[in-house]
Structure 1
């Protein structure tokens, strides 16, 4: 399912994650850490893979269309757990 979010919102979620969350997400989804970083707008394709992000220029860093929102949804769960 495609998910639409602004680039700035996506980066804010990444920057708000507790320490170790990127590694935890990589472990849970059995992917490289750099691939998780690429999911949140990084661009290290030497060590990580492309993850189905499509960025359209515009306000707030542009609009990001995410092909598969599982990592994003899990990241939001981690943030919610941090609040409680």
Structure 2
């Protein structure tokens, strides 16, 4: 999946407080992996985030190898 970096950040910013931990718990992954997926720089994360950023307009383009974290975030947003 391809999405702009700024759109990915907008999705993250809409999530309620504690959502990164909730997603991490649901998926059985480290919370820093979730934070990195949305553009964080937590280098001690214990998992691969699977995103590739290419610089450009609107923050650049992000290619997501796996949308599992994004899908979990969208479920949380849809529950609101």
Displacement of 1:48 in angstroms is: 4.3
Q: 5+ unaligned residues in a row in structure 1: which ranges? A: none
Distance 1:30 1:52, change over 3 A: same
Cα separation, 2, equivalents of 1:23 and 1:61: 25
Which residue pairs with 1:5 in the alignment? 3
Give the CA RMSD over aligned residues.
1.0
Residue 72 of structure 2 corresponds to 74
C-alpha deviations, 1:47-78, integer Å up to 9, x for none? Answer: 34331100011111000000000110110111
Give the 5 Å matches for 1:1-84: 3-82=1-80
The 3-state SS of whatever aligns with 1:73 is helix
TM-score w.r.t. length of structure 2: 0.93
Q: Is contact 1:52–1:67 with CA below 8 Å preserved after alignment?
A: yes
TM-score, normalising length: structure 1: 0.89
